[in-house]
Structure 1
Amino acid sequence: MAIQFNHTIVPARDKRAAAHFLADMLGLPAPVPFGPFYAVTLANGVSLDYAEPGTDFAPTHLAFLVSEAEFDEIYARITTRGIAHWADPAQNRPDEINTNDGGRGVYFVDPDGHYLEALTVPYGGWPAR
């Protein structure tokens, strides 16, 4: 079997609220309680399992490859809700998107400080066929 990424744990102050924020922003099905977690499952079967560690935690970066139509929907949610966003990870280009590698991308922050990214083309572009 080829090695595949299956899941990761994402720390949150309120796991239910954080999982619902992500699912809502990305237009995914509602998170499912699973043991001590709230799991958000992506189309490729990978799950992001939100947990409350009870301690301080460093924010992380989560990037999501989305279709052009999904990007439009996500960006509309970001702008409609007045969520701060940037075209770049250094936050030098606020209220913009990027067109890196022939696609579109945007960065925004969730309520726990995790840096979320939606992009339509992977870094470096699509592999040649």
Structure 2
Amino acid sequence: MAIALNHTIVAARDKHESARFLTELFGLPDAVPMGHFLAVTLDHGLSLDYADVAADEPIHPQHYAFLVSEDDFDAIYAKITDRKLPHWADPRAARPGEINRNDGGRGVYFRDPGGHFLEIITRPYGSGAG
């Protein structure tokens, strides 16, 4: 049986701002309206469907990890540093301004405008030395 994640909903205070943040940082096509969502499509057809949350409703921060190539890591990390975005080598934010070298790759954590933790990694966890 082949099972693939098709989409997930990402809560945002401003779905346009959050979707634009991701598409600009990652060099992706613009988000596409889909009903009351803004869909950002990634490889293999997975989409992140951004939805506005009312001001009186809490956003429960989630974690979204993206496996990227070495070249894409360089390009995204350059945008993170150019924009002076706070970033960390670890999920507890104890190593600010650093990247990690887990499993022989590179990784970094940062937040999107909705407060979600985003992570870019060049090697899947458990795939190598480090």
Distance in 1 (alpha carbons) for counterparts of 2:53 and 2:93: 28
Corresponding position of 1:8: 8
Corresponding position of 2:93: 91
Distance in 2 (alpha carbons) for counterparts of 1:100 and 1:68: 14
**Per-residue CA distance 1:54-105 (angstroms, 9 max, x = gap):** 2212110000000000000000000000000000011111100001001000
Tell me by how many angstroms 1:3 deviates: 1.0
Unaligned segments of structure 2, at least 5 residues: none
Corresponding position of 1:66: 68
Distance in 1 (alpha carbons) for counterparts of 2:92 and 2:58: 23
- Return the letter of the residue paired with 1:76: A
65-74 or 50-59, larger mean C-alpha shift: 50-59
- Return the letter of the residue paired with 1:56: P
Corresponding position of 2:115: 113
TM-score, normalising length from structure 1?
0.94
Corresponding position of 1:81: 83
- Say how many residue pairs are matched: 126
CA RMSD of aligned residues (A): 1.0
- Return the letter of the residue paired with 1:94: P
| Alpha carbons 2:59, 2:114 under 8 Å: kept | no
- Return the letter of the residue paired with 1:16: H
* Identity across matched positions, percent: 61
Unaligned segments of structure 1, at least 5 residues: none
Distance in 1 (alpha carbons) for counterparts of 2:53 and 2:78: 32
Tell me by how many angstroms 1:23 deviates: 1.0
